[in-house]
């Protein structure tokens, strides 16, 4: 595992190890549990999907509120390792929350953790300040998706949800070790391609299409 930074501080390594085992907002929304419930109740599929969409929207809303609170700290960008850890936590929690297949989720989250740079020496304080504002914008876009889910009376297509959350994940190439970035982007594209296939016409559906 590689951790950026000239000193390679043990504290950084411990922080990554802690992230690997502890950084979860709510484990009970992971591992596709809600998908399994849907499959068990084929006879009432529409209601099951709606229940899944309702539960997922609440889980995602909880995450957006949680990280919005964290990012409201205007001094956060001045503490590089803490800022970088919080950004990593945000990305991992949203990936885990949407319930993509477990094998892909594990491969993707492990790759991101192993490649994550806790320190980026070439990044300025001003750049991190802008980056923090961009994280807030990403959360606002995800919140827009959640509001769309809650307004729509039609059956929720989980692939649409997955696609839109993944589209708004704030991962930059500079967040990762340069040699790992293409692989990780490829994993994300793989999931999104799968979502696009399952969505069919839904890929063109806009969140404001169900606005009242």
Which of 70, 71, 65, 63 is CA-nearest to residue 26?
63
State both tokens at 77.
């960008």
> Given this model, what pLDDT does residue 113 score?
96
Which of 58 and 133 is assigned the larger pLDDT? 133
- Report the predicted TM-score, pTM, of the whole model to 2 decimal places: 0.70
Q: What's the pLDDT tens digit per position in 2-45?
A: 444 444 555 555 555 555 555 444 444 444 444 444 444 444 44
Domain ranges of the chain: 28-200
pLDDT beyond 80 at 56? no
Q: Are 122 and 8 in contact (CB under 8 A)?
A: no
Which of 106 and 147 is assigned the larger pLDDT? 106
| Crossing angle (nearest 10°) for helices 80-97 and 158-167 | 160
Secondary structure of the chain in HEC code, one letter for each residue? CCCCCCCCCHHHHHHHHHHHHHCCCCHHHCCCHHHHHHHHCHHHHHHHHHHHHHHHHHHHHHHHHHHHHHHCCCCHHHCHHHHHHHHHHHHHHHHHHCCCCHHHHHHHHHHHHHHECCCCCCCCHHHHHHHHHHHHHHHHHHHHHHHHHHHCCCCCCHHHHHHHHHHCCCCCHHHECCCCHHHHHHHHHHHHHHHHHHHHHHHHCCHHHHCC
> Given this model, what pLDDT does residue 25 score?
41
């Amino acid at each position: 595992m590689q951790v950026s930074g000239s000193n390679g501080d043990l504290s950084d390594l411990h922080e990554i190890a802690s992230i690997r085992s502890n950084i979860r907002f709510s484990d009970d929304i992971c591992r596709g549990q809600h998908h399994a419930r849907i499959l068990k109740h084929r006879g009432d599929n529409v209601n099951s999907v709606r229940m899944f969409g309702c539960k997922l929207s609440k889980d995602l809303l909880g995450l957006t509120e949680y990280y919005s609170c964290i990012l409201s700290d205007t001094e956060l960008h001045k503490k590089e390792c803490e800022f970088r850890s919080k950004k990593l936590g945000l990305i991992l929690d949203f990936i885990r929350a949407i319930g993509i297949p477990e094998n892909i989720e594990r491969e993707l989250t492990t790759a991101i953790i192993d490649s994550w740079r806790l320190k980026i020496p070439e990044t300025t304080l001003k750049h991190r300040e802008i980056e923090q504002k961009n994280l807030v914008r990403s959360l606002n876009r995800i919140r827009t998706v959640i509001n769309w889910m809650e307004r729509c009376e039609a059956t929720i297509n989980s692939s649409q949800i997955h696609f839109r959350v993944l589209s708004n994940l704030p991962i930059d190439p500079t967040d990762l070790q340069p040699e790992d970035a293409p692989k990780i982007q490829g994993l994300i594209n793989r999931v999104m391609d799968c979502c696009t296939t399952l969505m069919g016409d839904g890929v063109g559906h806009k969140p404001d299409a169900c606005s009242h």
